[in-house]
Structure 1
Amino acid sequence: MGPLFPAGILIAVVVFHATVVLSSFPATLHLERGVPASHKLKLSQLKERDRVRHSRMLQSSGGGVVDFPVQGTFDPFLVGLYYTRLQLGSPPRDFYVQIDTGSDVLWVSCSSCNGCPVSSGLHIPLNFFDPGSSPTASLISCSDQRCSLGLQSSDSVCAAQNNQCGYTFQYGDGSGTSGYYVSDLLHFDTILGGSVMNNSSAPIVFGCSTLQTGDLTKPDRAVDGIFGFGQQDMSVISQLASQGITPRVFSHCLKGDDSGGGILVLGEIVEPNIVYTPLVPAQPHYNLNLQSIYVNGQTLAIDPSVFATSSNQGTIIDSGTTLAYLTEAAYDPFISAITSTVSPSVSPYLSKGNQCYLTSSRFIF
């Protein structure tokens, strides 16, 4: 849901966990069953074994790791977004929020929201946060130092009549939301040293939405709010890091098949062999130095200056944007290369300004 600047293509990373043993050859590997065939375990026991195994992958050198479930897919014909479930308030209530690396703030629909959807085509229950029903909730005043954190991204506004710290967000697709900031408990499970610590919580500041417009109001893919994973101090990542709960880093893996899902943790995945690319420093978003584009093994003849990063250009990794966007100088040769590569049985055509390809079974954008 971040600004629709030219963006690179998001690539799902499949993570494998392997143990390598070095010895002289020939070598014999002895495999043993974790659970003997003669033994039977309850489903709850098997799930707990898998949970512990998963936790070993999520070790981090600084602080604990908070693991969130991931639902949704990249496919705009199915869902077209990735979302997770959070627990906020006292007692904890579930909220389903879109995962968005293109914005900074977590916000959810508030009990007094105007235009907020009340049902979702994603078959998830929608909730409204009510600060008055949570004894651990408190409003953020304009004089509160935490209100100034929102000024980093120029979204904080102050209502003089009630000294209440508010916000207004406008997203690249034209949708928007406004509301006020509250502080309450975020509940989570922390993985630390291979052990799962249940029922952890920490106070965080997040938005309580009282108005939504545009696509945010549509019930077909409605969620309770947006989970911003940006770099500013108001992000949940920064807030938990400042309390020493997690490191100021997150790991996000998007599954690219129809089953969707993936990995989302506050912390590092340190064991698997992962290829890294540096982020461009001093940028408001997660910018990369895109150097070239390959189609069918051939490098496209695109001037590298097209991908140069500045205050309003470059390649932004934005999990809240369903599609990849390219500048015209890169888009035209990219589409031409794809068109010349696809099978002759595929017919290219334009639909609402988008290059599409007609096959016997479905449309491919």
Structure 2
Amino acid sequence: SSEVQMPMQSGRDYSLGEYFVEVKVGTPGQPFWLVADTGSEFTWFNCHHHKARNKTRTRHGHGHGHAHGHSHGHSNPCEGVFCPHKSLSFETVTCGSKKCRVDLSELFSLSFCPKPSDPCLYDISYADGSSAKGFFGTDTITVDPQNRKHGALTNLTIGCSKSMQNGVNFNQDTGGILGLGYGKDSFVDKAGRQYGAKFSYCLVDHLSHRDISSYLTLGPHHPAKLLGEIKRTELILFPPFYGVNVVGISIGGQMLKIPHHVWDFTAQGGTIIDSGTTLTGLRLQAYEPVLEALTKPLTKVVRVPGDDFGTLDFCFKSEGFDESVVPRFAFHFTGGARFEPPVKSYIIDVAPQVKCIGIMPIAGNSGASVIGNIMQQNHLWEFDFSQNHVAFAPSTCT
């Protein structure tokens, strides 16, 4: 079988609550670590767009001024930044094309088009308030940068991002985002046609350093050693999102009283599995009973104000804390599968000697709950489009 294993690691050493996957883009390939994001279908790179000062110059003549301008410093403008002008396979999507006006309109393409031959621009916003602006192109992405099998996806639509507004989740140091969400002509769609309609990943502990890596696998067989049986539940495609049908949450074996509509996609609810979001978010009607049940056994802990840690409501000093007093948290999915993460995935370390309940409330009467990447750690997650299921199993991932 022809699967491809892409190295994957936690962003802990960059102080980022993300997992990164290694790819090469362009011809010859320029290497990057991108955020692995199942919550979006658009792949983009931090970009340095090299423009010739004099518009009338021919392509082969534009190197001189550029080299001369930089000769006093040794900084390479393409270091850690994608330079499309150095890729023989990069093509700009023009704003006059049907691709820009129609196909990419769902990917935040802008209608701004002074000349039909100008680049097709985008301005994409994420749920955490971060955003990226740039232009669309197509290029080749090499998916096994170690070059064992020369796996490559050609003619993939990618973004060349020129500016980013810093959100919680990415900053200037990230090479970009690998959009693993579901969509026509997306990375996952192209990979599926080449390697089979299935991909999987195993997330190492989120506090792992970058010398510990696991894999994102395109195709059938994941190398992770499993520590328990594989469980499956129906995959609900809610493009670009991967949804699961939750029937309830139990804490310490007791099902909590949560109104059914919270889990219902047809009633503006539902639950998605999002590798690009750090913390799990639950709609208020689920969050409140969960918080109450988890804090009950924590009466003796010394509370710490949670304001220092974003939006977390319950933080405490971890000195002398015994996690065996914490009841087990479980998501119950349709078909009887139960996802029971280890305590460290919902009572999380946020700072030296400080732990918090690592779940956030999602305010309002609509919106999906999100199973974030810390909750997913130390598990294999597999998305199978031919069988329409999500499979998961505990694993060390190493």
TM-score clears 0.5: yes
> 1:142 corresponds to which residue?
95
> 2:9 corresponds to which residue?
71
Q: Which amino acid aligns with 1:227?
A: L
Normalised by the length of structure 1, the TM-score is 0.68
1:247 paired residue among 186, 196, 200: 196
RMSD over aligned Cα, in angstroms?
Answer: 3.1
Q: Which amino acid aligns with 1:332?
A: E
Are the equivalent residues in 2 in contact too, given 1:100–1:229 (CA < 8 A)? Answer: yes
Greater relative contact order: 1 or 2 (C-alpha under 8 angstroms, separation 6 or more)? 1
Normalised by the length of structure 2, the TM-score is 0.63
Residues 1-365 of structure 1 aligned to structure 2 (within 5 Å): 59=1, 64-72=2-10, 79-112=16-49, 127-144=80-97, 146-147=99-100, 148-151=102-105, 153-163=106-116, 164-189=119-144, 197-198=149-150, 200=152, 202-215=154-167, 222-241=173-192, 244-256=193-205, 258-259=207-208, 261-269=213-221, 274-310=230-266, 312-342=268-298, 344-348=299-303, 350-352=305-307, 354-360=313-319, 362-365=353-356
Structure 1 residue 281 displacement after superposition: 4.2
Structure 1 residue 126 displacement after superposition: 6.0
Instruction: Report the Cα distance in structure 1 between the residues aligned to 2:240 and 2:184, rounded to whole angstroms.
Output: 12
Instruction: Report the Cα distance in structure 1 between the residues aligned to 2:114 and 2:142, rounded to whole angstroms.
Output: 33
Instruction: Report the Cα distance in structure 1 between the residues aligned to 2:107 and 2:154, rounded to whole angstroms.
Output: 25
Q: Which amino acid aligns with 1:249?
A: K
Q: Residue 261 and residue 292 in structure 1: after superposition, are their counterparts in 2 closer, same or farther (change >3 A)?
A: farther
Q: Residue 216 and residue 295 in structure 1: after superposition, are their counterparts in 2 closer, same or farther (change >3 A)?
A: closer
Q: Residue 283 and residue 239 in structure 1: after superposition, are their counterparts in 2 closer, same or farther (change >3 A)?
A: closer
Q: Residue 356 and residue 167 in structure 1: after superposition, are their counterparts in 2 closer, same or farther (change >3 A)?
A: same
Q: Which runs of 5+ in 2 are unaligned?
A: 51-77, 320-351, 357-398
Across the two proteins, how many residue pairs are aligned to each other?
283
Structure 1 residue 65 displacement after superposition: 1.9
User: Alignment partner of 1:287: what SS?
Assistant: strand
Structure 1 residue 158 displacement after superposition: 3.9
Q: Which amino acid aligns with 1:253?
A: C
Q: Residue 143 and residue 268 in structure 1: after superposition, are their counterparts in 2 closer, same or farther (change >3 A)?
A: farther
Of all paired residues, the percent bearing the same amino acid is: 27
Structure 1 residue 350 displacement after superposition: 4.4
Are the equivalent residues in 1 in contact too, given 2:181–2:239 (CA < 8 A)? Answer: no
Instruction: Report the Cα distance in structure 1 between the residues aligned to 2:157 and 2:14, rounded to whole angstroms.
Output: 34
Are the equivalent residues in 2 in contact too, given 1:126–1:223 (CA < 8 A)? Answer: no
Off by >4 Å, runs of 4+ in structure 1: 75-78, 143-146, 216-219, 270-273, 281-284
Structure 1 residue 106 displacement after superposition: 0.5
Q: Which amino acid aligns with 2:137?
A: V
Instruction: Report the Cα distance in structure 1 between the residues aligned to 2:259 and 2:93, rounded to whole angstroms.
Output: 49
Q: Which runs of 5+ in 1 are unaligned?
A: 1-58, 114-124
